[in-house]
Structure 1
Amino acid sequence: MKRMNGNEKTYEQLKSEWQELKDAEKRIKDQRVELEAQILQQRPIADALLKKPEGSHSFYGLKITTGFNRKFDAPILDKIRHEIPADLWPFKTEYKEIRKGTKYLEDFHPELWEKIRESLELKDKKPTFSISAGKSND
């Protein structure tokens, strides 16, 4: 472990500052979200969003992008897929990992895992921080 030279902060000080900033960040985010809701209720903005509910709008230097999160029911699509010509079908198959399954192959069927592993690309996740209840030193 690195020696402290008097000017450096202790772990407890850093943790405390982190928590203060995290709390401030949440308060500021809540205030921003409330302000955004008020902006969206302003007459010219609300009217424009009624006319065009999806896309980008600019209002005196403020750009507002709106849209929808779209989700389709896979079992329903499976039932109707044969009714729509393949060249008009507006969906593609996406492979989503079942981590429990790939872990099982890694551990118990490495020869099969080797075939799949060639298609795997790993990207680092951004670390996340939170305060835990206990005082563990994992």
Structure 2
Amino acid sequence: MSDKKIKNIFVNGPIAPEFIAKSISNHSSKTGIGGHSIFMGQVRKDEIDGKTVSAIDYTAFEELALDKMQDIREAIFNKYPLSCMHVHHSLGTIYAGEICLFVFTSSKHRKPAIDACDEIVERIKSALPIWGKEIFADDTHRWKENQ
């Protein structure tokens, strides 16, 4: 692993629309970028076995997750010609309709940004020790499966 400082991807609570807008607007001065790709994961108000999901409570083994995310970051930068990569994942209780994952990639051309963004999301879901407990409207709960 490199000597670069490990970036903290975790945010307590939902990822605010204002934060997302500011992240996007901060890139307008970077005129070498020709393509951005953005993924925003939103908590769904699913119905499961007759119960409605009202929120997801996210927890993580933070130190291990940050180490693994640094490995993913380095692998993605080695694989794709990206200019920028930003990843933010919520911890705590996130209600239906709120954003819990924000991945933003940029490159000179659109295809690397799109492909990298998609791969990052898949690798986060499969490799990082982050768990979500679905909280139902009746205050019962169950551990969520990553999909």
**Shared topology, TM-score over 0.5?**
no
TM superposition score normalised by structure 2: 0.18
Normalized per residue, the structure richer in helix is: 1
**Which one has a bigger Cα radius of gyration?**
1
- Of structures 1 and 2, the one with the larger relative CO (CA 8 A, separation 6+) is 2
TM superposition score normalised by structure 1: 0.19
Normalized per residue, the structure richer in strand is: 2
